A and B are shown apart, each in its own frame.
Chain A
């Protein structure tokens, strides 16, 4: 996200407007990427991101190939590089990759031909750029001034397992690039070991923070964090950092509740709270398709007349 910068983010968001409109049509499909091939290469379970990317590619009329670990030769010991070169040899224009290891998309982009685009669909704890873009789009749609002021002045808290979260890292970059003030809320065990260079505040007191927030962004808590001695129990986590019904009442009426999904109802967010009108979790998913259409279009659609959309 850092490399994209404010202008890059705004370019994607501006184009996303067009695709949101496309998605509202009775036949939500444009021929922009006809003849292009997009492969989704997912080394990690993901329902929504994968579906979202594949839907985005199909709505742009691209051909979609799907590769997942369980059905691949990865289980036969094939190396990442061999897999990627095999896929590329089939003739693809973009590889959308999800991997449990940070940095894999950067490594891939060094291995493939320059004409093949690599799209990061989430790498380890590092980045999930399209999630951050759809989050920015959703916040701007609901709370931003339509005057190009981005997210200036908005106060956003990201709550939960920041340490292991690629969403948090990308959101911090994107939100702050667009001018928002970001506070990270987590127990010390779930914060990164160092926050040197992060343009954020840190708080351990969610109650004190909630009344002043424009957005509370909750992260999914993985069950295995207890095994790693990062937390005593889910119950204690919920009591201290969960968005319970009581805490939700501390929010201003126009504050947004966001979550990258999938939601652990009753852990990081109470079931009722996730369904409140101020919760835009479903809208995030809708916008995800449009944002990913914009990203694929920007990477693959050069030479295509935008007016034809």
Chain B
């Protein structure tokens, strides 16, 4: 067969050929550092990275990356795609489109669906839905059956389908003995590629947090809203660090929100414990004062905390205590949010604003932000084809970011089926221009291609 570039239109009409995409004029940034380079993608993989520039191949889809950063695609450790069960709020299709627009090429789909993802059948269902998605959909499984906290879910059968992360997210595993057993049991469960699994905890002491619709403190006292204190989270972080030590297993902490939690993880890491943690953009940008107007869009679990907590999360992200920025993207239909504050559903959208918030709000070099949002979470999630160096032979999972572009968040123009972003109207700097997943340009110039 002649080289692709020499084919005529008639040839193309007769045969199906791997798509060729050319990223022109950008600066590549990955774990190996920054360099000016063009990137040639063919058949889903990176074919060449040209530091001196590459010739534009014929018939290639050329994506302008001038002034932009070309980076490994982002990986979200914490996405609620709401399927099965809450399709009115989000679907795998709409959520993955939102992810792609946010620069993500992979998301971990949380198992608090209806029914919960707690057995092979539901894992397969979501994986099947993920085949048509706009990014890789890695399915997380529940630790306990129905996330009810009483009986271990069949981890091995889910791991055999590739599930890496197990969590009862939405709630913590309250029963200490059960959590110990889950950690013990998880230590020998393995995935088809031989790697192990990882338990992830939503840290919230159920009795301490009971009824708490926001952070307990100055604002909850003034507003007359039942609160949950810092300690509701920290008690479970403490407990789980102890259980992970006892069982000799790693643990991942979801959406840390308090200065005390960050300090606990910092000390555990200093002592050599195998612990990882994530934090959300809303926990490093918003405080409980946002609740003052009683708008349930600001209701989230764990709740928005104090300014001191916001600063502690930022320090934790800067010094490596917190390994990853995760969105906790939690779509809710309008009716679930148009309710009294204490009855409204907790959760916020995040996929389409996370990178821009990190670039705008964190005083970190872009390479550090990308580490927190791409290759470190890829490692935690055990995604072999994500967060990889931008190098020949790798799968082309890439995002192209214009770090200088400014834009204003418009809740009505997001790809998510829901509109519950707390950042509506906020001006941000840094915008995803293109996203390439397995060689396909799923986002071009800020527009989803499917």
Contacts and interface: CB of A to CB of B under 8 A. Distances in A.
B338 A194 contact: no
A106 B225 CA distance: 14
Interface of A: 79-81, 99-104, 106-107, 111, 123-127, 166, 169, 192-198
A102 B225 contact: yes
B413 interface: no
Contacts of B227: 193
B294 A103 contact: yes
A103 B221 contact: no
Contacts of A100: 340
Contacts of A125: 224-226
A102 B339 contact: no
Nearest to B341: A103
A55 B338 CA distance: 31
Nearest to A99: B340
Contacts of B225: 102-103, 124-126
| Residues of B contacting A: mostly | loop
A169 B224 contact: yes
Interface in B186-242: 216-218, 220-227, 229
Contacts of A107: 294-295, 338, 340-341
Interface residues of B, number: 22
B341 A102 contact: yes
A192 B225 CA distance: 10
A79 B217 CA distance: 29
A123 B341 CA distance: 11
Contact of B218 (A101, A123, A194): A194
Nearest to B221: A192
Contacts of A195: 221
B342 A101 contact: yes
A126 B226 CA distance: 10
Interface of B: 216-218, 220-227, 229, 293-295, 335, 338-343
Nearest to B217: A194
Contact of B224 (A79, A102, A197, A198): A102
Contacts of A126: 223-225
A126 to B, nearest CB: 3
12 contacts: A79-B339, A101-B340, A103-B341, A106-B293, A107-B340, A111-B338, A166-B224, A169-B224, A194-B217, A195-B221, A198-B221, A198-B222
A80 B296 CA distance: 14
Contacts of A197: 218, 222
A103 B340 contact: yes
A193 B221 contact: yes
B338 A127 contact: no
A41 B401 CA distance: 51
A127 B335 CA distance: 25
A124 B224 contact: yes
Please give me the 7 A-B residue pairs with the lowest Cβ-Cβ distance, nearest first: A103-B294, A101-B340, A126-B224, A125-B224, A192-B221, A102-B224, A196-B218
